Amino acid sequence: MALADARALVPHLPAFPHDPAGDGAMLMRAVEACERYTPMVAPDGEDALVLDLTGCFEGQGWTRETIARDALAHLARMGLGGRAAHGPTPDAALALARFGMDELADLPVAALALGAEADLALRRAGLRTIGALAARPRAPLAARFGRELPVRLARLLGEEDRRITPHRPAGAIRAERRFAEPLASVAPLLDVIEGLAQRLESVLARRGEGGRRFDVALFRTDGHVARLAVACGRPLRDPPAIRRLFSERLESLSDPLDPGFGYDMARMAVPLAERLENEQRDLACGEGGEAQPDLAPLLDRLAVRFGPDRIRRFHPRDEHLPEYAARPVPPESGPAAWPRPEPGEPPLRPLFLYDPPRPVGVVAEVPDGPPRRFVWRGKHHRVVRHEGPERIAYPWWKHPEGRGPTRDYYRVEDEMGQRFWLFRHGLYASESDHPQWYLHGLFA
């Protein structure tokens, strides 16, 4: 029926534009809300969810009926109406739910979803229900109505199973807790998290592993799911340490948690676990003065709070250009040995590097000579000592097609004693007529 016809019948009919993206997002919210029952949840089509409840009843006090009722109640709170059905295969359950029936045999042939033409052909042949089809030999059916029919029929009747692909891959290590009364405040959350971590600790210890990442999902009664994740630099299974990381995470949330009508379930999963051996404490610990606390927990906390890419360590890199001579690496990769400097030499590299180098105005006696004066940040510096040039060529052996200007580096000291690292970008006459000067670093 067209909208105009419908409005002729019901003048005040509200109308909304079709929004497939919004519908899809709503369906995904429903998927997230149903993750409370099983991690195996997948959307089907535009209007259905499939939950694989295999093994989900044990120890949880659920039955098929209570899960169906609970799920519908949750969806109703999200403003969604629905029908629930269960079956031996996803296809059977979907067909029962879509047609609102209880028995597979009573389903119309349209449940096979073969298309309008095939439906009509089946009905003309006097085959109206799945029950009638199931009783017949399959080979003639396939010959007449196509090869798809026996496959779909087998899936519908539970003779052949189909796997669903869950929306979110389930971690093998997880623990969950349901609350009799929804948690309406954030305060007790850390205790809940520590409780979950304690349950995971034994699982992890049995596997000889520690978690490198911990995800917590908080299921709100109205279907919203809040997710928190922390990562750590080395495998961890100590509940108080996990609690501290999550307390940092909660504090650093830019958008604080809104418990709304309360959380009624929490789940902790370990998506990434690594080998963690039990370590024996060093008995001779007291010998060499007091032991220093391990830095790793602090680095984990700082990484959770300020972002994992903010902490760096330096590893040497065999590179010509000074800006690439040190490689920043994450702190958990451990220290690397640095080459020892040449004895007797003053520092030949600056301790602080400007990247990009800052352009400076330089006066030199001759265009390819050392600098005499330069202006930086509006201040004039007269060079009284200098050493150079140290010529650093563009790495043409790596980039044969592109050639950059050569740099001539000078270590200079002005009349105040301030020491700078300057370079002339481009060789005079052969590479550039007016080479630009840059300040690249500061010495002590």
Q: Name residues contacting another protein, limited to 228-247 (CB under 8 A).
A: none
Site string for another protein, 330-369 (x = CB under 8 A): -x---xxxxxxxxxxxxxxxxxxxxxx-------------
**Region near another protein per CB under 8 A, out of 78-86, 236-244, 261-269, 405-413:** 405-413
Q: Which residue, among 296, 303, 302, has the nearest Cα to 279 in the 3D structure?
A: 296
Does residue 314 interact with another protein by CB under 8 A? yes
Rounded distance between C-alpha atoms, residue 311 and residue 300, angstroms:
10
Rounded distance between C-alpha atoms, residue 42 and residue 65, angstroms:
20
**In terms of CB distance, is 52 or 248 closer to another protein?**
248
CB of 231 to another protein, least distance (A): 17
Q: Name residues contacting another protein, limited to 6-45 (CB under 8 A).
A: none
CB of 395 to another protein, least distance (A): 17
CB of 293 to another protein, least distance (A): 4
**In terms of CB distance, is 138 or 372 closer to another protein?**
372
113 secondary structure, DSSP code: -
Does residue 423 interact with another protein by CB under 8 A? no
Rounded distance between C-alpha atoms, residue 122 and residue 133, angstroms:
9
Q: CA torsion angle for 162, 163, 167, 168 (degrees, to 10)?
A: 180
**In terms of CB distance, is 147 or 377 closer to another protein?**
377
Does residue 186 interact with another protein by CB under 8 A? no
Q: What angle do CA 34, 228, 297 make, to 5 degrees?
A: 145
From candidates 77, 152, 213, 305, binder to another protein by CB under 8 A: 305
Q: Name residues contacting another protein, limited to 372-391 (CB under 8 A).
A: 377, 379, 384-387
* Tokens standing for residue 232: 């750590």
From candidates 417, 430, 433, 434, binder to another protein by CB under 8 A: 417
CB of 414 to another protein, least distance (A): 9
User: What angle do helix axes 189-207 and 239-252 make, rounded to 10 degrees?
Assistant: 140
CB of 310 to another protein, least distance (A): 5
Tell me which residue has tokens 């005040």. Answer: 12
CB 60 within 8 A of CB 36: no
- Going from the C-alpha of 436 to that of each of 54, 214, 371, the distances in angstroms are 71, 52, 12
Does residue 287 interact with another protein by CB under 8 A? no
**In terms of CB distance, is 73 or 416 closer to another protein?**
416
From candidates 11, 81, 286, 288, binder to another protein by CB under 8 A: 288
CB 149 within 8 A of CB 139: no
CB of 385 to another protein, least distance (A): 5
Spell out the residues 6+ positions from residue 292 whose beta carbon is closer than 8 angstroms to its own.
none
CB of 380 to another protein, least distance (A): 12
**In terms of CB distance, is 42 or 422 closer to another protein?**
422
Q: Name residues contacting another protein, limited to 97-136 (CB under 8 A).
A: none
CB 302 within 8 A of CB 310: yes
* Tokens standing for residue 361: 């105005």
Give phi and psi for 76, each to the nearest 5: -65, -35
CB of 403 to another protein, least distance (A): 24
CB of 308 to another protein, least distance (A): 12
CA diameter of the chain: 106
* Tokens standing for residue 97: 């739910």
Rounded distance between C-alpha atoms, residue 37 and residue 121, angstroms:
41
Question: How many Å is the Cα radius of gyration of the chain?
Answer: 35
**In terms of CB distance, is 7 or 382 closer to another protein?**
382
**In terms of CB distance, is 227 or 380 closer to another protein?**
380
CB of 349 to another protein, least distance (A): 4
CB 102 within 8 A of CB 93: no
**Region near another protein per CB under 8 A, out of 118-126, 204-212, 271-279, 291-299:** 291-299
Does residue 443 interact with another protein by CB under 8 A? yes
From candidates 167, 413, 425, 428, binder to another protein by CB under 8 A: 413
Tell me which residue has tokens 């970008």. Answer: 425
- H/E element, 176: strand 174-183
Q: Which residues bind another protein (CB under 8 A)?
A: 288, 292-295, 297-299, 301-302, 305-306, 310-314, 316, 322, 325-326, 328, 331, 335-356, 377, 379, 384-387, 411-413, 415-420, 441-444
